[in-house]
Amino acid sequence: MSPIGIFDSGYGGLTILHGIRQQLPQYDFLYLGDNARAPYGSRSFEVVYQFTRQAVLRLFERGCPLVILGCNTASAKALRTIQQRVLPEVAPDRRVLGIIRPTAEVIGSLTQTRHVGILATEGTIRSQSYNIEIQKLYPDIHVSGQACPLWAAIVEANEADSPGADYFVKKRIDQLMSRDPQIDAIVLGCTHYPLLMNSIVRHVPPHVRVVPQGHYVAESLVDYLQRHPEMDQRLTKNASCRYLTTESPEKFQENAQIFLHEQVNVQHIDLE
């Protein structure tokens, strides 16, 4: 088996996995959630790098030639260092991709006003990763970020449709729009946030487009495999999907249903 590896600090990466499986159902996948050490959002760059490095190497050991960091914090704080430092030293024939760049690449076609908002964790907002990637590609786009404390926790508590969730969603969207009323596209820069979509759509102005990542990351991966047939040939295609967690398998199964609405078989592993 040579599956595509998907890594996340928690459960949100399951929305990325879902989007990719919709576009590439014939491929094999191995999902790893570092649930025991989540969330990564408030951790330092060095800690996120070390944790992500451990996970990537474990996925390599399990036969993954290609790993997607299905986590915005890991993409923001660890991807570049792993690509520049880890791969050349220990796995020059493997590849690790993130999810911020694919989102940044499409945003230029989704905004008319050239004013874009980012809703994400505190760590992702502080890293300025979206601002850097978007303005590298589209220097004319003005980017405003808004940290959304509690949103991910609300999703994992299965309270996404509760009045409390609605209150916190409205509060952060209002803060973002008051900072820049010209925003006409908002990127959901955390993989948990699509599960709050009902509430988000209710509170954004009618002219504002909401941009979840799963679909665009999947399209970018399809394009990547078309441009790199040598990698595509290394990936096995038995339409299988397996799951690993650093937490209890029972807890993972329970929470995974919130994101996937299906039963999953999961195995416990240690990364340290």
- The token pair that represents 223 in the structure block: 């394009």
Q: Which of 64, 148, 190, 241 is catalytic?
A: 190
User: Is there a catalytic annotation at residue 241?
Assistant: no
Phi/psi for 33 (5° steps) reads: -110, 120
Nearest C-alpha neighbor of 11 from the set 196, 202, 253, 233: 253
Q: How many CA atoms lie within 13 A of 156 on its CB side?
A: 19
Locus of tokens 């945003």: 107
Q: Are strands 66-69 and 4-8 parallel, antiparallel or unpaired?
A: parallel
Sheet holding 241-245, edge to edge: 95-97, 66-69, 4-8, 29-33, 241-245, 266-268
Looking at 204-241, list the stretches that DSSP marks H as alpha helix, in order from N- to C-terminal side.
214-227, 229-232
Residue 247: in which H helix or E strand, if any? none
64 catalytic per annotation: no
DSSP state of 208: P
How many CB atoms are located within 10 Å of the residue 46 CB? 11
Catalytic residue among 64, 71, 148, 241: 71
Known catalytic residues are 71, 190
